[in-house]
Amino acid sequence: MLTDPSFWVAVALLLFFGVLIWKKVPSLIGGALDKQIAGIRREIEQAKALRIEAQTLLARFEQDQKDAAETAKGMLATAEREAKIITDDAARALDELIARRSAMASDKIAQAEAAAIKEVRKVAVEAATAAATRLIASNLGQKDRDTLVSTAIDGLDKRLH
């Protein structure tokens, strides 16, 4: 038996386990495992807390995004209303400007027509006067002309006073 190697392996193994128990290695291993378990539990708790915080932040960001979208819709609607008001005002102002310019053009045309008629009448009167003067000068004698001038001068005195 002392020469059998399996006996010595069994003795060495028993001694090894005895030393391990005597040095409290199983409790040390258990303590180390307990520390690892506690560390893992802390990490799990931290992960849960981070997950809850992330979900809260996500919900808040989603709400903020929804609020921002609603605000943007409101701003767009307001901008569209204001743009319509501005374009309506601009169209009304343009219509008024066109009406004023049209009236001014009509007035200028009427003034030009009146001036043209006045000029035509003036030319016609001058032509008629010149023609009458030539006719009178060629058809009347000196005596008749003097009488006509005297009558015209007397008529002027009556017309002026």
Quote the pLDDT of residue 43.
96
In a domain, 9, yes or no: no
In a domain, 120, yes or no: yes
d(CA 37, CA 55): 27
Quote the pLDDT of residue 18.
78
In a domain, 52, yes or no: yes
Q: Could you tell me the residue range of the domain that residue 74 belongs to? A: 22-160
In a domain, 104, yes or no: yes
In a domain, 7, yes or no: no
Question: What is residue 140's DSSP assignment?
Answer: S
The list of the chain residues with pLDDT below 70 reads 20, 159-161
Rg (CA), the chain: 62
In a domain, 8, yes or no: no
Quote the pLDDT of residue 7.
86
Q: Number of folded domains in the chain?
A: 1
**Residue 25 near residue 17, CB atoms below 8 Å:** no
